[in-house]
Amino acid sequence: MASRPGLWRGPIGPGAFIAVMGPSGSGKDTLIGEARRRVDPERTFFVRRIVTRPADGAAEDHDTMSREAFAAADAAGAFALCWAAHGLSYGLPVEVDDAIRQGRTAIANVSRAVLPLLRQRYRTVVAVHVFADPAILAERIAGRGRESGEAIAARVARDPGISLAGDDIVRIDNGGELAVAVDRMVSTIEATLAPQP
């Protein structure tokens, strides 16, 4: 499942796309939420993902669709990008393209598997790799209450097998003081923003 290349009309700009990636429990959504409070809302677009999973207090704030509705929306061109992971389908609404065409910076939690597609679709892409010590990841995942001990261990040990090489990779250690990681995220976002008139 992926966006349809036939609908692309060259790299979309002049705005930027910040792809926030990392293992479960690394705190991607926490960093995104904290950064959102500190950056200019007129020049940024924080993307609300569509997921084929019910929303709950332990998961990110997202829009939910059934598998059937998601497939229909994808066929209708409702997504700028979509992918499958962990038995679920994820989509970014097509409004992302509009925001980037307006010169805004879009920020979204995405799978590292879609990074090559993002680099094809958007003129400016910055990949933010959020990470933390495996013991911290396991503790955070356990706190969600959705997986057993064996499933948590398997998730933490999982090697995605996808290289995060490139000059556009920003690495953020989110295993220590949150304020330090948030500062790094905010500075990364602000570096992409178009100058104010």
Q: What is the mean pLDDT of residues 141-158?
A: 54
- For residue 104, name the pLDDT band (cuts at 50, 70, 90): very high
Report the chain's mean pLDDT, rounded to a whole number: 80
Has residue 110 been placed in a domain? yes
Q: Of 118, 103, 139, which is closest to residue 25 (Cα–Cα)?
A: 139
Report yes or no on 196 lying in a domain. no
Q: pTM of the predicted model, to two decimals?
A: 0.79
In a domain, 141, yes or no: yes
pLDDT digits (tens, 9 = 90+) for 26-37: 788 889 999 999
Q: Is the pLDDT of residue 100 over 80?
A: yes
pLDDT for position 95: 94
Instruction: For residue 118, tell me if it sits in a domain.
Output: yes
Please indicate if the annotation marks 23 as binding a ligand.
Answer: yes
66 is in an annotated binding site: no
Contacts of 89 (CB under 8 A, 6+ apart): 1, 51, 52, 67, 70, 71, 82, 83
Residue 148 lies in a domain: yes
- pLDDT of amino acid 89: 87
Q: Is 3 a member of any domain? A: no
List the domain range (segments joined by +) for residue 186: 13-191
Establish if 6 belongs to a structural domain: no
175 known ligand binder: no
> Residue 21: enclosing H or E segment and its boundaries?
strand 12-21
Give the number of other CB atoms < 10 A from CB of residue 5: 9
Query: What are the residues whose beta carbons fall under 8 Å from the beta carbon of 123, sequence distance 6 or more?
Result: 11, 12, 13, 14, 16
CA separation for the pair 97, 139 (Å, rounded): 36
Give all strands of the β-sheet with 122-131 in edge-to-edge order. Answer: 44-46, 105-109, 12-21, 122-131, 169-173
More confident residue, 24 or 100: 100
Angle at 109 between CA 182 and CA 196, to 5 degrees: 60
- The answer to the question of whether 61 is labelled as a binding residue is no
Phi/psi class of residue 150: alpha, beta or left (left: φ > 0; alpha: ψ in -120 to 50)? Answer: alpha
Is residue 178 situated within a structural domain?
yes
3 is in an annotated binding site: no
What integer pLDDT is reported at residue 190 of this predicted model? 95
Reading the block at residue 135, the tokens are: 């013991």
CATH number, domain with residue 121: 3.40.50.300
pLDDT of 177 reads: 86
Is the pLDDT at 91 greater than 70? The verdict is yes
The total domain count for the chain is: 1
Q: Are 141 and 8 in contact (CB under 8 A)?
A: no
Q: Indicate whether 188 pLDDT > 70.
A: yes
Q: Residue 59 pLDDT > 70, yes or no?
A: no
Q: Residue 168, annotated ligand binder? A: no
Query: Cβ contacts of residue 155 below 8 Å, gap of 6+?
Result: 23, 24, 141, 147
